[in-house]
């Protein structure tokens, strides 16, 4: 039965004002993006009392998450929310605190979001969202709707694919197929994916780079014939799991409230006093969740947006002009932040203006001219909350070495960007640096950092000859006392590779591959 949570359910509208219907939480999870290309945002926000936030410190993380979902009045029965959160935030994490706050040095606090099964912060959302996805389908079937199964189709440059596989593996009513560029992922990233367990998963390499891979998958999504063949022959509908899904954003609001409660409990901040948070930013999902946390009552003062050499957001926050018309994409040691169009920024623009017409005009301008400029009022509002800065490739590696030498704490190249920006922009408030990956996900660049090599240096012959996993063992020896290589990475070479197929790039090839897999696995 569909849960009728009385009148207080929070419904969702889209940022461009093009979906005529307000949607429930589970509707937004299944839909992902709104018709017309807008993103779903809550019609109103809950407001939490300080005492509610502080009381989270006494609860296990799963119950903290359930409390926040309850505050957002999601249309899933509260007991079921509890059960799903217990399933999401349990033994799959290698720290029972799930998202612990660690004091590093005297006055910086690090929120470690990488204790999940794939050692990157995407797990915080992707261990949770697929459970609600399956639940949304079974709620609708229980209510008598004849709903297809869903096939989640992912093009990945590395981290998202693995986190999505791990999240959807063996979830009822769903399958997941991941396509990765055969020439474009690291040894460790490839092994993480092709050793994936689960009966409902498949992983395919694509001849080409990430662009080839992404274009082929996008074209398959856009092909109506493909959709009707999947429905007709396999009772299956396509879906995506990318970070514009509200179901990925809500779990990220949880850890800001959780972290504040922990900081008060440990004496790092006086109850009610503000903190600043500094977030290594790509698609703007993580920092946006921090903004929503502030709006619902978590005492956050400034949101510090940290970028790498792809620094379009730094310029936007400084000037109000989002301009990629003359901007080339740069590769960096923090690939998960290598992005030109930060999709979730659209949600912030809506929240600041509550004006779907303005949002639509800016997005149209971005598509047409590769730039848009916000008005002075919206700019001033944004500046009340956000500051930004960026860090060069070589400096991000220098920061890893410096923090290791000074504090004995080993950062990954994404978190090091945030660390540096936090040091530059911080004021009087205690700072929470959001750490998005375990160092071992980026072993080669951490090796360069510890050896004082620039980002562009080729590895010494000996290290270049090592497999990715062996290199991690060597880095761990150089940095004795750092957080050890997570079991999921250290044990990769012992797992057997289940998925060896590499297919041609292009829409038809991807479609044929998916249909072949569905036919074989019936
Ligand atoms: C995805 C990712 C980011 C960027 O997060 P957004 O929500 O896209 O801004 C930063 N660091 C790591 C390690 C990531 O995987």
Instruction: Round to whole Å and give the CA distance between 290 and 301.
Output: 10
Q: What angle do CA 65, 125, 342 make, to 5 degrees?
A: 125
pLDDT of residue 95: 97
The two three-digit tokens of residue 405, written as one number: 């030498």
Beta strands 321-323 and 371-373: pairing type? Answer: antiparallel
* Gap from CA of 140 to ligand 1 centroid (Å): 32
d(C-alpha 93, C-alpha 118), whole Å: 9
Residue 122 designated active-site: yes
Structure tokens of 333?
Answer: 């040691």
- 406/431 Cα distance (integer angstroms): 18
Specify the pTM.
0.95
pLDDT digits (tens, 9 = 90+) for 402-422: 999 999 999 999 999 999 999
CA distance 117 to 162: 9
Question: Does residue 195's CB lie within 6 angstroms of at least one atom of ligand 1?
Answer: no
Residue nearest to atom 4 of ligand 1 (CA): 282
> Is the minimum distance from the CB of 284 to ligand 1 under 6 angstroms?
yes
User: Which pairs with CB-CB distance under 8 Å and at least 24 residues apart come from 183-186?
Assistant: 183/207, 183/208, 183/209, 184/157, 184/158, 184/208, 184/209, 184/210, 184/213, 185/156, 185/157, 185/158, 186/158, 186/444, 186/468
Fold of 101-118+247-440: Rossmann fold (3.40.50)
Q: Is 282 in the pocket of ligand 1 (CB under 6 A)?
A: yes
Residue nearest to atom 2 of ligand 1 (CA): 336
Distance 336 CA to ligand 1 centre (A): 5
pLDDT in tens, 164-187: 999 999 999 999 999 999 877 888
Q: What per-residue confidence (pLDDT) applies to 3?
A: 52
Closest CA to 213 of 246, 178, 247: 178
Whole-number Cα distances in Å, 331 to 187, 242, 412: 18, 21, 16
DSSP 378-398: HHHHHHHHEEEEE--HHHHHH
Asked if residue 159 has its Cβ within 6 Å of ligand 1, the reply is: yes
- Please work out whether the CB of residue 112 comes within 6 Å of at least one atom of ligand 1: no
Determine which one of 122, 162, 191, 441 is catalytic.
122
| pLDDT at residue 522, rounded to an integer | 66
Which residue stretches of 337-375 are H helix?
345-353, 356-369
441 lines ligand 1 (CB under 6 A): no
Q: How many CB atoms lie within 10 A of CB 78?
A: 14
Residue 253 burial (C-beta neighbours within 10 Å; 0-12, 13-18, 19+): buried
Compute, in angstroms, the gap from residue 207 CA to the centroid of ligand 1.
25
Convert 134-167 into a string of H (helix), E (strand) and C (coil). Answer: HHHHHHHHHCCCCCCEEEEEEECCCHHHHHHHHH
Regions in the chain scoring below 50 on pLDDT = 1-2, 5-6
In the structure encoding, which two tokens stand for residue 221, read together? 């999504």
- Supply the Cα-derived Rg of the chain in whole angstroms: 22
pLDDT, tens digit, 9 for 90 and up, residues 93-114: 999 999 999 999 878 999 999 9
């Amino acid at each position: 039965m569909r849960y009728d949570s009385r009148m207080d359910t929070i419904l969702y509208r889209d940022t461009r004002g093009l979906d005529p219907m307000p949607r429930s939480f589970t509707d937004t999870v299944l839909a992902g993006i709104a018709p017309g290309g807008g993103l779903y945002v809550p019609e109103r926000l809950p407001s939490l009392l300080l005492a509610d936030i502080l009381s989270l410190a006494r609860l296990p993380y799963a119950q903290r998450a359930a409390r926040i979902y309850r505050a957002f009045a999601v249309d899933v029965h509260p007991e079921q929310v509890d059960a799903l959160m217990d399933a999401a935030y349990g033994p799959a994490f290698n720290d029972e605190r799930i998202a612990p706050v660690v004091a590093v040095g005297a006055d910086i606090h690090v929120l470690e979001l990488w204790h999940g099964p794939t050692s990157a912060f995407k797990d915080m959302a992707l261990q949770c969202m697929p459970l609600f996805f399956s639940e949304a389908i079974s709620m609708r079937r229980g209510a008598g709707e004849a709903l297809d199964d869903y096939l989640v189709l992912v093009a990945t440059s590395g981290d998202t694919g693995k986190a999505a596989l791990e999240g959807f593996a063996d979830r009822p009513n769903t399958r997941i197929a991941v396509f990765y560029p055969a020439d474009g992922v690291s040894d460790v990233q490839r092994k993480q994916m092709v050793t994936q367990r689960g009966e409902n998963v498949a992983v395919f390499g694509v001849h080409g780079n990430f662009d080839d891979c992404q274009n082929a998958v996008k074209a398959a999504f856009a092909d109506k014939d493909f959709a009707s063949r999947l429905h007709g022959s396999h009772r299956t509908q396509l879906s995506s799991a990318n970070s514009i899904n509200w179901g990925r954003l809500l779990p990220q609001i949880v850890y800001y409230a959780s972290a504040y409660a922990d900081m008060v409990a440990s004496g790092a901040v006086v109850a009610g006093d503000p903190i600043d948070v500094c977030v290594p930013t790509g698609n703007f999902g993580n920092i946006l969740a921090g903004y929503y946390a502030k709006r619902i009552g978590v005492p956050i003062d400034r949101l510090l947006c940290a970028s790498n050499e792809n620094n379009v957001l730094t310029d936007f926050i400084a000037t109000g002009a989002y301009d990629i018309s003359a901007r080339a994409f740069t590769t960096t040691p923090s690939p998960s932040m290598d992005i030109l169009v930060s999709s979730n920024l659209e949600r912030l623009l809506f929240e600041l203006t509550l004006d779907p017409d303005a949002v639509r005009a800016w997005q149209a301008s971005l598509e047409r001219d590769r730039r848009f400029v916000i008005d002075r009022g919206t700019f001033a509002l944004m500046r009340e909350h956000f500051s930004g800065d960026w860090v060069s490739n070589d400096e991000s590696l220098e920061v890893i070495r410096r923090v290791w030498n000074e504090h004995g704490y080993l950062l990954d190249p994404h978190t090091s960007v945030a660390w540096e920006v936090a040091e530059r922009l911080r004021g009087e408030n205690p700072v929470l640096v959001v750490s998005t990956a375990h160092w071992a996900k980026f072993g080669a660049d951490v090796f360069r950092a510890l050896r004082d090599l620039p980002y562009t240096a080729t590895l010494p012959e000996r290290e270049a000859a090592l497999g990715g996993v062996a290199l991690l063992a060597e880095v761990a020896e150089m940095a004795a006392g750092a957080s050890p290589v997570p079991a999921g990475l250290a044990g990769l070479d012992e797992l057997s590779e289940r998925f060896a197929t590499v297919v041609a790039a292009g829409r038809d090839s991807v479609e044929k591959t998916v249909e072949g897999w569905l036919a074989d696995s019936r």
